Amino acid sequence: MSKLKLGFPKGSLQESTIELFKKAGIRITASSRSYFPTSDDSELEIMLVRSQEMARYVADGTFDAGLTGFDWICESGANVREVCELNYAKSGFRPVRWVVCVPNDSKIKTLKDLNGKKVATELVNYTKKYFKKNKVNANIEFSWGATEAKAGRLVDAIVELTETGSSLRANNLRIIDEMLTSTTRLICNDAALKNAWKREKIENLAILLKGALAAEGMVGLKLNIHVKNLQKIMSLLPALKKPSVSPLTDDNWLALEVIMEEKVLKKLIPALKRAGAEGIIEYPLNKIIY
């Protein structure tokens, strides 16, 4: 049987990626003691690898494809192909940002003020290129962790990853520059694309994963209405395109079906009921394929 060797992100993205694959219809079970998760897709051969290393292993053919952040693709400089962008992170569905931070009481106000200063980060290569591009000559050093605690003590500034900014605020840090915005990417190598079976398998994965992300926060709604109430009901319904309207066996009644954001339902459903809708059914969505 043909197999697609897939690199799976270990660490902060692991649980959210497992959940995304589940919504895409692929169940993955990862043990805390093993780097080789099992899957109900027998055509996948999966290994857990840190996102920082993923692009390199995909580029050299260790994996056919993998999931990692755009930031780590930039950092590695590896020659990989981006199949699709998947906008999710550790705890939400927003891009993450690499930002330059200093303590709140620091006299440093702009990136230029870091000339001759010391900066700690895990994203060393990209940071050096960014500072050079902006004509700032700073000493960029690799941070093995606890980066936020080093600002103002061991170094003058840090370049750190943030999703919501809450951790930076908790550590009394302020942002002086935003360096890079990053989202998760499905990547592969040229050899995999040249193999017809692997190419199709990777493309299928992309379709399913993008469909699962598109369905996030969305639900389906079905309802029955009297013909005389059609325009009134239609004016209340937001739709992905337009609601589907189908006749019922009773010529005076119609069935409507629509896809919408779940967050609007707490106000919408009572309004629909008052406008004459009956048999209202809300149902979850796993995938929306455009």
Q: What pLDDT shows up at residue 47?
A: 97
For residue 282 the two structure tokens come to 């809300």
The domain 4-93+183-214: what is its CATH number?
Answer: 3.40.190.10
- Where residue 91 falls among pLDDT bands split at 50, 70, 90? low
For residue 44 the two structure tokens come to 């996948």
Taking only the tens place, the pLDDT of each residue in 96-115 is 999 999 999 999 999 999 99
Q: Where are the domains of the chain?
A: 4-93+183-214, 96-181, 218-284
238: exposed, middle or buried (Cβ count in 10 Å: 0-12, 13-18, 19+): exposed
Please tell me the distance from the alpha carbon of residue 15 to that of residue 170, in angstroms, as a whole number: 25
48: exposed, middle or buried (Cβ count in 10 Å: 0-12, 13-18, 19+): middle
Please tell me the distance from the alpha carbon of residue 58 to that of residue 62, in angstroms, as a whole number: 6
Please tell me the distance from the alpha carbon of residue 82 to that of residue 187, in angstroms, as a whole number: 4
Task: Mention the CATH class of domain 218-284.
Answer: alpha beta
Using DSSP's 3-state secondary structure scheme, residue 210 falls into helix
Please tell me the distance from the alpha carbon of residue 196 to that of residue 2, in angstroms, as a whole number: 11
- Please determine, for residue 1, whether its predicted confidence score (pLDDT) is greater than 80: no
> Are the C-beta atoms of 28 and 8 separated by less than 8 Å?
yes
Taking only the tens place, the pLDDT of each residue in 175-223 is 999 999 999 999 999 999 999 999 999 999 999 999 999 999 999 999 9
Taking only the tens place, the pLDDT of each residue in 251-280 is 999 999 999 999 999 999 999 999 999 999
Taking only the tens place, the pLDDT of each residue in 114-146 is 999 999 999 999 999 999 999 999 999 999 989
Please tell me the distance from the alpha carbon of residue 254 to that of residue 231, in angstroms, as a whole number: 12
The reply to whether 96-181 shares the fold of 4-93+183-214 is yes
DSSP 278-289: EEEEEEE-S---
Measured at the CA of 92, the angle between CA 259 and CA 131, to 5 degrees, comes to: 130
- Please determine, for residue 164, whether its predicted confidence score (pLDDT) is greater than 90: no
Q: What pLDDT shows up at residue 274?
A: 96
Q: Please report, in angstroms and rounded to a whole number, the separation of the first and last CA atoms in the chain.
A: 31
Q: What pLDDT shows up at residue 95?
A: 87
Percent of the chain residues past pLDDT 70, beyond the cut: 98
Q: Does domain 96-181 have CATH number 3.40.50.12780?
A: no
- Please determine, for residue 241, whether its predicted confidence score (pLDDT) is greater than 70: no
> Are the C-beta atoms of 112 and 90 separated by less than 8 Å?
no
Question: Dihedral, CA atoms, 196, 198, 201, 207, nearest 10 degrees?
Answer: -80
Please tell me the distance from the alpha carbon of residue 122 to that of residue 140, in angstroms, as a whole number: 10
